[in-house]
Amino acid sequence: MRKKIVAGNWKMNTLPAEGVELAKGVVAGRGEVCSCVNFIVCPPFTHLAMVAEALNGSDVALGAQNCAAEAKGAYTGEVAASMIAALGCKYVILGHSERRQYYGETSATLNKKMEQAYANNLTPIYCVGENLEEREAGKHFDVVKAQIEEVVYNLTEEQFKNLVIAYEPVWAIGTGKTATADQAQEIHAYIRKVLADKFGAAAAECPILYGGSCKPSNAAEIFAKEDVDGGLIGGASLKAGDFLAIGKGFAK
């Protein structure tokens, strides 16, 4: 049985006190959702310590949205994987399309970040996905395949067992335009095949999340698909009620 995961990527939103309130709201309502759903919240770095405290005693896990490619040292403005792990993070989002697009993250950088994550016992949520132009040119399969081969294929079998993949089509992020459940299933199944080509049967255990304008009204249909194991939620994770309602989308 693969893990069911609903992860909230808060991006650069909320002030620290607002983040604490949001986290408390998730904890307060969490009992209304099946305990089989693993909730993760990923606030900005500045909120991690306070949100960790708000989550204390609950089963809602903490993640960061990024980490540095280096372990420590003279890298002004960077935040090391060891630092976020010390604050209680269990997960780290890596390779989000916004990081690739606006901050020039390449596979070479991401390989180093993945190494840092594993060295600090963090589970990476590794993001893949094509942009609109690539989708329209029918290149989406090749794009996600390359994003996986260039980074995930470098993992050991042990590391691969501790990995979450998020498929996020760039054209669906923050646009209100969601991939259809069939489009999601088609590419999730393909991603699982690419993973199986390298890691064999272990690929059947890897959670693959969908991300891109996922909300309470469409989550159930998307999560019902065989190879969709949950969601990486942006905008709708900023309201505790919506975030929890998305978790209720699991019927399987």
Closest CA to 117 of 90, 98, 139, 144: 90
**CB of 66 or CB of 109, closer to ligand 13P:** 66
| Three-class SS state of 232 | strand
173 interacts with ligand 13P by CB under 6 A = yes
**CB of 234 or CB of 247, closer to ligand 13P:** 234
CA distances from 202 to 102, 144, 147 (A): 33, 19, 19
The single residue among 63, 124, 212, 249 that binds ligand 13P, judged by CB under 6 A, is 212
HSE, CB side, 13 Å, CA atoms: give it for residue 72.
Answer: 5
168 is catalytic: yes
The single residue among 54, 233, 240, 244 that binds ligand 13P, judged by CB under 6 A, is 233
Least distance from ligand 13P to the Cβ atom of residue 9, Å: 4
**CB of 42 or CB of 85, closer to ligand 13P:** 42
CB 181 within 8 A of CB 224: yes
The single residue among 28, 72, 137, 174 that binds ligand 13P, judged by CB under 6 A, is 174
Say which residue the tokens 């054209």 belong to. Answer: 171
From 47, 96, 140, 188, the catalytic residue: 96
Q: Of all residues in this chain, which one has the CB nearest to ligand 13P in the complex?
A: 234
Stretch that binds ligand 13P, among 15-23, 134-142, 216-224, 234-242 (CB under 6 A): 234-242
CB 210 within 8 A of CB 228: yes
CA distances from 56 to 24, 41, 87, 124 (A): 10, 13, 12, 21
Residue type present at position 58 = S
169 interacts with ligand 13P by CB under 6 A = no
The single residue among 230, 235, 247, 249 that binds ligand 13P, judged by CB under 6 A, is 235
213 interacts with ligand 13P by CB under 6 A = yes
Contacts of 192 (CB under 8 A, 6+ apart): 203, 204, 206, 208, 227
Residue type present at position 107 = S
**H/E element, 126:** strand 123-128
Give the relative orientation of helices 181-199 and 140-149 as an angle to the nearest 10 degrees: 40
168 interacts with ligand 13P by CB under 6 A = yes
Closest CA to 230 of 61, 31, 54, 25: 61
**Among residue numbers 76 through 105, which ones bind ligand 13P (CB under 6 A)?**
96
**CB of 25 or CB of 216, closer to ligand 13P:** 216
188 is catalytic: no
Least distance from ligand 13P to the Cβ atom of residue 83, Å: 22
Catalytic residues: 96, 168
Residues of the shown chain interacting with ligand 13P in the complex, contacts defined by CB under 6 A: 9, 96, 168, 173-174, 211-214, 232-236
